[in-house]
Structure 1
């Protein structure tokens, strides 16, 4: 690490926390485009972010590979080919290592450096960042690129420390892997991660017992290798695919049909759903345009998918547990899978409904349920997800203006201006923070948009001699109100146990965190804010608690829409 000769903290123009997709691109723009002295601080011993840590069995992206990549450079795009429709963890990590080498980023990335705290000095308008090892660094601009799904959520189940076997969380998987051969494995959790992991674990485990609290929909991924012809076609269509993902509300490389399920007859619904099932993947969501704004329309998709579960799973009792789904389709993150439901046809695989018989505690021999039954296990796999969106940020002790703490300011839920800035924390930018489209979109597109917007903002501030920029409280309050309105215009809040609401973490405020108004609308709002001289921000002065909400937000989302029309407009992103 670079250290000043007099022992004072090393000084940088910009510090970036995290070396995943967001951190790598942010470094490239700040260092190579703006010429800033920039350093990335990364807790891991390699680049990759989420894809460095998530090495669990079956770990795979649910965005198609030709869209899950950077689009800012044609040269970079043409220098890499994915091998499958849906890339696996190892291949995505290899891609990010390729990017780091291609852009010569490693010389400014400090690995094995976990940030513990960051404090803003109002006299100098500088941030001082402190690492877990006690190192201190200062910067004018601090950017968090910590990801939305990087803080593992290990459930607080009594007795875990007494377990005689081995336990692992999917978000912190050992690099050497876990040997399940001949072992009795218990998997807790059936979200996207659990649905990916179970079929692979079942291949070698002596027994696999899946402890399910919330039954889930899933659509076959229909993953397959990409032929040389397909790879060549996707390379040639670079501009077309780039423009497509930037013009669709969820940033995926397909458009959502304008047809409405509520207007179709039974035969048409069956035919369209069957065709979408065979195509597989997240494209199933796009078969009709009203699935997440009309409960009746959603019921048609839900009924079809529950029927598929009962058709695939041969044992009626097991099928009943797996298809007992209590939320609208895609109101939670909609998983895609490879042979998930088929796995329960294997004689050594079972599902336990822990809503009917909850987990009481973990005992040395395994997992004990409220009924008193003990499932003896050698390995427990927690596929219980993450403390999403706010968790990675709150893991750092941020101290802002007047000694305020982020953990206190967000005690009742996050407050941001467009997901990129937080009142009371000047010169701090959060890539895909709470209040941005983030996890409701193909993540690479919002990441690129955020990173470019932040770089443009910093470039403008430097050109205008601005040393301090801070989100106005009223802007953040109005924005989070709009985020709430956008969510409520959809069926998303009806999944009350969704991690979109923080419901998977005990004690976490129930606030809908991602922006459901769509990536296209979000980009327009961000562009309008910058075009209006960074409306909603205080520059070279403290933020004003009495300031009015920015007019640009009212103009973009207020209008005269009411009732169903306003709901449909707000819900365009889903």
Structure 2
């Protein structure tokens, strides 16, 4: 096996078995696995360092919402024993340090070109290979094109009227300055109250002289209750880590969540309230496991939604602000639930104002601030945008990807992204998609979902190598059936009811085709489906010698 040419050499075409696009969790695991199985490879990533989303999202308060010991690689026992997590939910700096350590520990950097964005990937039918080009002038020729681009890696276009007229500094949570931002004493506007905004705003409020939060849609926010890890707790996890990994793979969410098998209304009102209280005080994603029917029964969801709205009244002292922070019009969980720290408490601060744009619409931003439709004007020293992502498809459509006959992926996905099992798309041979559209991805522990996908990808490549196949490609019929399956399973839940603005369906992007993109059946059913497809000779895929 040979490595790719040195990072400074852009003149010589790079010929490898597999090119990996992205060097976050997916890309790093792919590189490790590809080497283990004897494949030559190279990875490209536009960041200055490995880490993917955890490299770019450096905003204050950035943190994972899955327990640290589960949001980590399970492919190497020594790694999981050696690495020391310090908090229940790892912060961005800790996750970045972990991923950088993984890259160093396994000598992955020699096959990674950083600060290098893939601009095009074209399948050449004459040689049955992918020709991949970058903005640094690289040309790579590879049998396989492995898309480890992440689900939330491309920010959505800014749709704030007049923002182009504002002359002060604008900071996006999705590409935060490496050296941070000092907001001490400044008048700051924060636009967006999704996950990034909920995490950043309480931290910015501690510095800013005045913070004005612009909210378009209220979100259900669960307290994180983050804390430092007890050494005895860590020792117990490490002593039983293999069993913990096995158990995580046997649960739909891909992590241990202490799910309650009972339904919400098979218990008394008192018991149900006590369970919600216990979960609220415990914090984090375990709240979602309070009862088994929260995402399938509207009455059960109404109960938990009412509980959260009552909590907002308890916490927020100003009744009008509390009313604006209460989510209505969609079930809890239909938009991704947000886990935060001191979110509601932040609005009790004297230096924080909430502008509910449903009640007080924005006219436009001005050169010095903004003007509301009622004529009220604000001046700001800085603006923070936490306005979300072009989820799932954004990273794909930002590249010029062409398959058979020169057809672009954008054309192929003009009615919405279509895949077979979330792994491959008809007309794009040997292009594997890792833990993205058509798979559990964001509805599960992402790292578990990634490891699942990486294992299947390399297993399929081994099968092709061992049996003399050159290409593998999804069929049109199979991917249409899988899109139908994904929608059908979603329709048995309350998730589709959050389509008004939900990025699960692409509804947060004007003009984006409406299709439910993640697979809501969980990683266990998903793995069973894959096993059936594989054991039936890769049913729904065409393998060509």
1:111 to 109, 114, 127: 114
Shift of 1:324: 4.2
2:503 to 499, 506, 513: 499
2:24 to 5, 20, 23: 20
SS in 2 for 1:137: strand
State the alpha-carbon separation in 2 of the partners of residues 153 and 7 from structure 1.
34
Shift of 1:84: 0.2
Question: Does residue 262 in structure 1 map to residue 255 in structure 2?
Answer: no
State the alpha-carbon separation in 2 of the partners of residues 325 and 187 from structure 1.
22
Unaligned runs of 5+ in 1: 542-574
- Matched with 1:301 is 304
Query: Is 1:154–1:382's contact at 8 Å kept on the other side of the alignment?
Result: no
Number of aligned residues: 540
Question: Does residue 78 in structure 1 map to residue 81 in structure 2?
Answer: yes
State the alpha-carbon separation in 2 of the partners of residues 186 and 350 from structure 1.
10
- Matched with 2:515 is 511
- Matched with 2:160 is 157
Shift of 1:220: 1.0
State the alpha-carbon separation in 2 of the partners of residues 47 and 540 from structure 1.
35
State the alpha-carbon separation in 2 of the partners of residues 365 and 104 from structure 1.
49
Question: Does residue 357 in structure 1 map to residue 360 in structure 2?
Answer: yes
Question: Does residue 141 in structure 1 map to residue 144 in structure 2?
Answer: yes
- Matched with 1:277 is 280
- Matched with 1:330 is 333
- The farther-off stretch of 48-57 and 230-239 is 230-239
2:203 to 190, 200, 203: 200
Query: Is 1:217–1:325's contact at 8 Å kept on the other side of the alignment?
Result: no
Moved over 4 A (4+): 3-8
State the alpha-carbon separation in 2 of the partners of residues 324 and 119 from structure 1.
45
2:313 to 306, 310, 313: 310
1:346 to 331, 345, 349: 349
- Matched with 1:170 is 173
State the alpha-carbon separation in 2 of the partners of residues 137 and 284 from structure 1.
46
State the alpha-carbon separation in 1 of the partners of residues 328 and 200 from structure 2.
20
Indicate the RMSD between aligned Cα atoms, in angstroms: 1.6
Query: Is 2:257–2:285's contact at 8 Å kept on the other side of the alignment?
Result: no
- Matched with 1:11 is 15
- The farther-off stretch of 2-11 and 446-455 is 2-11
Shift of 1:212: 0.7
State the alpha-carbon separation in 1 of the partners of residues 10 and 327 from structure 2.
65
Shift of 1:75: 1.3
Shift of 1:228: 1.6
Judged with a 3 Å threshold, the aligned counterparts in structure 2 of structure 1 residues 335 and 6 are, in CA distance, closer, same or farther, namely closer
> What's the CA shift string for 1:327-350, capped at 9, x where partnerless?
111111111111110000001101
Query: Is 1:47–1:97's contact at 8 Å kept on the other side of the alignment?
Result: yes
SS in 1 for 2:458: helix
Unaligned runs of 5+ in 2: none
Judged with a 3 Å threshold, the aligned counterparts in structure 2 of structure 1 residues 212 and 124 are, in CA distance, closer, same or farther, namely same
1:489 to 488, 492, 495: 492
State the alpha-carbon separation in 2 of the partners of residues 112 and 357 from structure 1.
42
Question: Does residue 441 in structure 1 map to residue 449 in structure 2?
Answer: no
State the alpha-carbon separation in 2 of the partners of residues 321 and 262 from structure 1.
29
Question: Does residue 69 in structure 1 map to residue 72 in structure 2?
Answer: yes
SS in 2 for 1:86: coil
State the alpha-carbon separation in 2 of the partners of residues 176 and 449 from structure 1.
35
Shift of 1:8: 5.9
State the alpha-carbon separation in 1 of the partners of residues 79 and 531 from structure 2.
26
Query: Is 1:184–1:205's contact at 8 Å kept on the other side of the alignment?
Result: yes
State the alpha-carbon separation in 2 of the partners of residues 324 and 8 from structure 1.
56
> What's the CA shift string for 1:115-159, capped at 9, x where partnerless?
000000112110000112332111001101011111012423232
1:535 to 511, 535, 539: 539
SS in 2 for 1:494: helix
Judged with a 3 Å threshold, the aligned counterparts in structure 2 of structure 1 residues 450 and 5 are, in CA distance, closer, same or farther, namely closer
State the alpha-carbon separation in 1 of the partners of residues 531 and 105 from structure 2.
30
State the alpha-carbon separation in 1 of the partners of residues 137 and 112 from structure 2.
18
- Matched with 1:287 is 290
State the alpha-carbon separation in 1 of the partners of residues 295 and 5 from structure 2.
51
Question: Does residue 210 in structure 1 map to residue 213 in structure 2?
Answer: yes
Q: With structure 2 as the length reference, what TM-score do the two structures score? A: 0.97
Query: Is 1:187–1:209's contact at 8 Å kept on the other side of the alignment?
Result: yes
